Amino acid sequence: MKTFVVIGLGRFGTALATELSALGHEVLAMDMDEDRVQEVADTVTHAVAADARNPAVLRSLGMRNYDCAIVAVGGEIGTSTLITLNLKELGMREVICKAKSHVHRKVLEKIGADRVLFPEHEMGVKLAQGLSSSNVLNFIEVSEDFGIVELEAPNSWVGKTIRDLDVRNAYHVTIIAVRGADTGKLDVSPRADKPLEKGDKVVALGRSEAINLLHEVK
């Protein structure tokens, strides 16, 4: 069991706090809005109405005793930035923050956030990837520029080896794994002379624009 602090109980923060608690972790949920706190009080370990912008408040709640804090507040960029700064100065082990924009993300990273999430953007990218091609099974954004995609091997790739396809030069992506159609097992770093079979799933890493070109392969 791990211990978490979730600061900001909007839709994202509430869902996160509730799910973490349901998974058996200790969760302290915080928000300045008493009504929001009451809504989650019965589903988390502790819930408190408090101003996380005040370092004395965070100190009194024993932030250093928790494994991870998630800053999920909405509103002005300055609010989450100040809370993140307070947590890092108090010696919080890991601070994960929700960002509203790429600029917000850069600010949070500059002041020491261990990880920055961009939920709306990430979900939008995943949805767009899924809608643009029926053979895309999953998409993970690694950074603003790079992503990992899992897709069913196009018909034109079936029977050819990874060396024959030469996807690095043709599409500027790297095949990092293949999931066998017959076994369902993931072969990480597959051999270059491995021929692809119908129904195989290919996992590729590359820049977002390069991955988009894979959608057009038949």
Tens-digit pLDDT profile for residues 35-91: 999 999 999 999 999 999 999 999 999 998 999 999 999 777 889 999 999 999 999
- For the segment 151-187, what is each residue's pLDDT rounded down to a tens digit? 888 899 999 998 998 888 888 888 888 888 888 888 8
In whole angstroms, give the CA distance from residue 16 to residue 72.
Answer: 9
pTM here is 0.60
The whole-number pLDDT of residue 83 equals 95
**How high does pLDDT run on average in the chain?**
85
- For the segment 195-211, what is each residue's pLDDT rounded down to a tens digit? 999 999 888 888 877 87
pLDDT at 142 over 60: no
Alpha helix segments (H runs only) across the chain: 11-22, 34-40, 55-60, 77-89, 102-110, 119-132, 162-165, 167-170, 208-214
Amino acid at 192: A
